[in-house]
Structure 1
Amino acid sequence: MSDRPDFQPSTLVIHSNRSYEKQSNSILFPIHQTATYIHESVGVTKGYGYSRGANPTVNALEQAIAAIEGTEYALCFRSGMSAITTLCLALLKAGDHVILSDVIYGGTARLFHQVLENFAVEYTYADTSSVEATEQAIRPNTRLIFIETPANPTLKLSDVRAIADLAHSHENILLAVDNTFLTPLLQNCLSLGADISMLSTTKYIDGHNATIGGSLATNNAEHTERLRFVRKIIGSIASPFDAWLTLQGVKTLPARLAMHCSHAGQIAKWLEDHPRVARVYYPGLDSFPQKALAEKQQKAFGGMLSFELKASTEDSLHFIEALKLCTCAESLGSVETLITNPATASHCDIPLETRQRLGISDHLIRLSVGLEAPQDLIADFEQAFARIFPTT
């Protein structure tokens, strides 16, 4: 049913590219928990030989991801980081240069600094919110621009279309986008000109903190085959059970995203008006400096926000600990509201001076707004403020 581009998102995630199991007519695609497959005769299979290379349940998820990405191809991986690692191993070689967003997930930074650097892959951090700064970072050996927008954790935006145009004005430079914070339903990077879309499916795609996974989507057949080959060699394919659970999450993605966005907008506005809050980072606020860009390339403002309190780092961390509904945990995009301090979690390996320059202070708080009633979340914030700052 992939020939129905007029499907609305809620129909798309349920019916487009949907796979059915034919033997029993099960409405849910089954879990093919198997290592290997029987050959019908020597050298003849039904398309599957060994689950390190391909698996029917994983393939069903890949078709679902391709549907929401609007691409011909999608591949699923054990984690978001295994997706990025496979991307780099497949498309880069020693001596190649990569441009990274200066504000980017700490795991991506660690991959380049502590792993790929050992294999002579060069990289430069650039302020990709500026096309000019990104252009200045290009070298003769640049082969990939990897951006994250909105960026983790400051929500800084990069203009996907402008950077895609920049990349494609140079020979042999690809643009890949980490679109985890928004998913293709709120920001379709490939329609904006990107070559590859990356998702940590652990987050909004699954949406229930049940799995670890990642995906890459592209319309380029040659890149897809190279990615598929490297994934098979290093064994980074998603597991069947994780793929099955993620398939169930995909079906409710539009409904969940609508609630995430609505709740985050209400919480962001309430926080901005609170006397103990120094600053709120949320693209839907008029105070957000890149709101116009968000309105141009996003369909909504998302469920993620960050904020800083008018307080010491110690009191800011105590504030997190005083919350009861907002769970202090890494990850994001789930039905539960999750709160974290990036300086001690996702970005703990980044030097203090660098974090401060990028706006990731020790008392910056990141909030993944869940599906709880906003008034209940606000009440939770109020009791935490009253407990930590009784004179407010």
Structure 2
Amino acid sequence: MEKQTRIIRTQLQRSAHREHSAPIFMTSGFVFDSAEHGRALFAGEVDGDIYTRYSNPNLTELIDKMVQLENAQAGLAFASGMAAIYAALAGLLRAGDHIVASRSLFGATYKLLTDILPRWNIGTTFVDADQHEQWRSAIRPNTKILLTETPSNPGLDLIDLEYVSSLKENRDLVLLADNTFATPVVQTPIDWGADLVTHSTTKFIDGQGRTIGGILVGRLDLVEEIKTFARQTGPCLSPFDAWLLSKSLETLALRMEKHCRNAWELASHFEGHPELLRVKYPFLASHPHIALAKKQMRMGGGMVTFEVKGGRDRAMRFIDAVELASISSNLGDTR
């Protein structure tokens, strides 16, 4: 049975009402059978929901689906993709630790590494995504995390996850991969050696621009360590948003196949256009790392990058002239 079919059938245990669709558990807290039951829950001696900042049935269903899709062992849900990345870093790092990160990163992630983490004496060395020797030489004795984003936002640079993963050999390193632009339909970084995978579920996973959310999945031991930080600092996803995202996962494969097909057709149409300097799409023959794309991606993804001749002003006029697409701060929506 394919994973997409399995996650469609992944659902919370039905209540006595025999509902077909999972209900929304809009509650801040949960009732204990007794004082002793409550004590045992807080002590971690028995499993169960205590408080929605810790866990909630809707979050559990969403996490279970994402764990299956990403071939992971465990996961956590967050109020945004950036909350997921920050929790991973803050939950695993200590003052004096070091990160090696691709220079091709989402702007907010870059600001987190350059403006926020240095306050706690956590430094980052940035390397070119495709320069293997830079990755290797940047690792120090205090390096703890290798941070990647592939394909990158917005430049569609690719990182050889298998190679970067090989750098962990005989070292206490964690490979963290942001898989937002690909989604698990297109790429599963854990299969190539990643220890943790994050998503901004706001993008393709929601697919309709309704929610802000984030997911982190990966190795059980690492997720458990990050869980301690997440539970105490409270970047939890709401039950309603978790319910929406869980429903969205039922159509993710269908939507991504169409996104990828549309992106391929657009990139192919633009390739060689006299008014464009360059077009970048992972599955175009002109992409500098098409062999890598074909190796670790099942499809080319839903994003296309291109550069208009004439500089910034002409590019801005091009954007303003587009009639079908919206000029917006989000991506991955159906419209």
Question: Do residues 149 (structure 1) and 142 (structure 2) align?
Answer: no
Partner residue of 1:263? 262
CA distance in 2 between counterparts of 1:129 and 1:43 reads: 56
CA distance in 2 between counterparts of 1:177 and 1:43 reads: 41
TM-superposed deviation, 1:203: 1.0
Question: Do residues 59 (structure 1) and 60 (structure 2) align?
Answer: yes
Partner residue of 1:187? 187
CA distance in 1 between counterparts of 2:58 and 2:255 reads: 23
Tell me which of 9, 19, 29 is aligned to 1:26: 19
Partner residue of 1:272? 271
Question: Do residues 291 (structure 1) and 290 (structure 2) align?
Answer: yes
- TM-score, normalised on structure 2? 0.95
Check whether the contact 1:29–1:60 (CA below 8 A) recurs between aligned residues.
no
CA distance in 2 between counterparts of 1:130 and 1:21 reads: 51
CA distance in 2 between counterparts of 1:109 and 1:312 reads: 25
Instruction: Report which structure shows greater RCO (CA 8 Å, sep ≥6).
Output: 2
Question: Do residues 115 (structure 1) and 116 (structure 2) align?
Answer: yes
Range with greater deviation from structure 2 (305-314 or 99-108): 305-314
> Quick one: which amino acid aligns to residue 191 of structure 2?
S
CA distance in 2 between counterparts of 1:236 and 1:119 reads: 20
What do residues 98-135 of structure 1 show as CA deviations (whole Å, max 9, x unaligned)?
Answer: 01110100010111122111111111111131221100
Q: After the TM superposition, which segments of 4 or more aligned residues of structure 1 sit over 6 Å from their partners? A: none
Partner residue of 1:345? none
Residue 50 to residue 43, structure 1, CA distance change in 2 (3 Å): farther
Check whether the contact 2:74–2:223 (CA below 8 A) recurs between aligned residues.
yes
SS in 2 for 1:327: coil
> Quick one: which amino acid aligns to residue 181 of structure 1?
F
Check whether the contact 1:20–1:27 (CA below 8 A) recurs between aligned residues.
no
Q: Where does 1:343-362 land on structure 2 (aligned, <5 Å)? A: none
Partner residue of 1:211? 211
What do residues 44-89 of structure 1 show as CA deviations (whole Å, max 9, x unaligned)?
Answer: 1571111111111111111111111122211110000000110011
> Quick one: which amino acid aligns to residue 275 of structure 1?
P
Partner residue of 1:225? 224
Identity %: 35
- TM-score, normalised on structure 1? 0.81
Tell me which of 1, 6, 14 is aligned to 1:12: 6
CA distance in 2 between counterparts of 1:203 and 1:63 reads: 19
TM-superposed deviation, 1:9: 4.2
Partner residue of 1:178? 178
> Quick one: which amino acid aligns to residue 173 of structure 2?
I
Check whether the contact 2:4–2:69 (CA below 8 A) recurs between aligned residues.
no
> Quick one: which amino acid aligns to residue 169 of structure 1?
E
SS in 2 for 1:328: coil
Partner residue of 2:127? 126
SS in 2 for 1:199: strand
CA distance in 2 between counterparts of 1:145 and 1:135 reads: 11
| Equivalences, count | 327
Partner residue of 2:197? 197
Partner residue of 2:69? 68
Residue 323 to residue 149, structure 1, CA distance change in 2 (3 Å): same
Check whether the contact 1:13–1:251 (CA below 8 A) recurs between aligned residues.
yes
CA distance in 2 between counterparts of 1:313 and 1:249 reads: 36
Partner residue of 1:326? 325
Partner residue of 1:249? 248
Check whether the contact 1:9–1:254 (CA below 8 A) recurs between aligned residues.
no
Check whether the contact 1:74–1:217 (CA below 8 A) recurs between aligned residues.
yes
Partner residue of 2:41? none
Check whether the contact 2:198–2:217 (CA below 8 A) recurs between aligned residues.
yes
> Quick one: which amino acid aligns to residue 285 of structure 1?
L
CA distance in 2 between counterparts of 1:128 and 1:312 reads: 25
CA distance in 2 between counterparts of 1:223 and 1:289 reads: 34
Check whether the contact 2:12–2:57 (CA below 8 A) recurs between aligned residues.
no
CA distance in 2 between counterparts of 1:10 and 1:50 reads: 30
What do residues 285-312 of structure 1 show as CA deviations (whole Å, max 9, x unaligned)?
Answer: 1111100000011111011111011123
> Quick one: which amino acid aligns to residue 210 of structure 2?
A
> Quick one: which amino acid aligns to residue 156 of structure 1?
D
TM-superposed deviation, 1:24: 1.5
Check whether the contact 2:129–2:157 (CA below 8 A) recurs between aligned residues.
no
CA distance in 2 between counterparts of 1:191 and 1:19 reads: 27
TM-superposed deviation, 1:23: 2.5
CA distance in 1 between counterparts of 2:98 and 2:331 reads: 30
Consecutive unaligned residues of structure 1, counting only runs of 5 or more, are 1-6, 337-392
CA distance in 2 between counterparts of 1:27 and 1:93 reads: 46
TM-superposed deviation, 1:280: 0.4
CA distance in 2 between counterparts of 1:144 and 1:170 reads: 14
